[in-house]
Amino acid sequence: MATAPATAPQPLADVPRERRPRHVAVIMDGNGRWAQRRHLPRIEGHRRGVASVRSTVEEAARLHLGQLTLYCLSSENWKRPQRELEFLMHLLEQYMIEERQTIMRQNVVVRVIGRRDGIPAATLAEMDKTVEMSTANTGTRLCLAINYGGRGELVDAARRIADEARRGQLDPAKIDETTITDRLYTAGMPDPDLLIRTAGEMRISNFLLWQISYAELWVTDRCWPEFEIADFHQAIRDYAARDRRYGGIKG
């Protein structure tokens, strides 16, 4: 009698769920460099980067990751050439339209953080439509940071707090960390456990400055268009092997 083929082990089956990060944030860096090394226009790097976004989101959903936050466009990126910015807005709009069926099939909840000013009306409309469509989903939360800056987020939170205090809705003496957390763009979201950065850069780049206070950092030299599921798994596996003490000592 023929023996049935053995079932292939599931990726990360060796990593207990309780050791995996609940929330992974990613600084997707190196699209332009990837393209330039291949003598291609920078926009081709952004186009190829969308494929990495797609595969990473799908894998996060398959792993039942609580949240995946992607740094799509920083508030500083507006300094880039106009043609590149227009292409980025086109890619974002296209992604929001083309990925809706997949997002719904995978039960993904889409959220967007950042300031809306500067983003074309057509792009905003598609973003809002995708967010609204996915509101009732219950799976992995996909948070897209678009026109986002950590310092700007803190400024906006400070303004809200000052306004509430001025109106007599908030006692300044009772302001604490929770007060600030609840007024950030990410209110209601867990802080990242793991921060991944591609392209080998060793900096935070104004990303989730408040929220990553205790995040584990994982940096790869691979540019974002080269980022593969195996890299994602390795980051999670390395995270699981770390001893997180949050300022305390191991008992």
Identify whether 117 is a catalytic site residue: no
Identify whether 206 is a catalytic site residue: no
Neighbouring residues of 24: CB distance < 8 A, sequence distance ≥ 6: 60, 65, 67, 68, 69, 192, 193, 194, 195, 196, 235, 236
Helical ranges in the chain per DSSP H:
31-37, 42-62, 82-98, 100-105, 121-133, 150-166, 177-181, 229-241
The total of other beta-carbon atoms located within 10 Å of residue 205's CB is: 14
- Tokens 């890619």 sit on residue: 91
Which DSSP string do the residues of 15-40 spell out, in sequence order?
S-GGGS-SEEEEE---HHHHHHHTT-
Catalytic residue among 77, 107, 137, 206: 77
Residue 3: DSSP 8-state:
P
Catalytic residue among 29, 31, 147, 193: 29
- Per DSSP bridges, beta strands 23-27 and 194-197 are parallel
Instruction: Give the integer Cα–Cα distance in Å for 27 and 22.
Output: 17
Does residue 218 sit in helix, strand or coil? strand
Does residue 11 sit in helix, strand or coil? coil
Neighbouring residues of 210: CB distance < 8 A, sequence distance ≥ 6: 150, 153, 154, 180, 181, 184
**Residues taking part in catalysis:** 29, 77
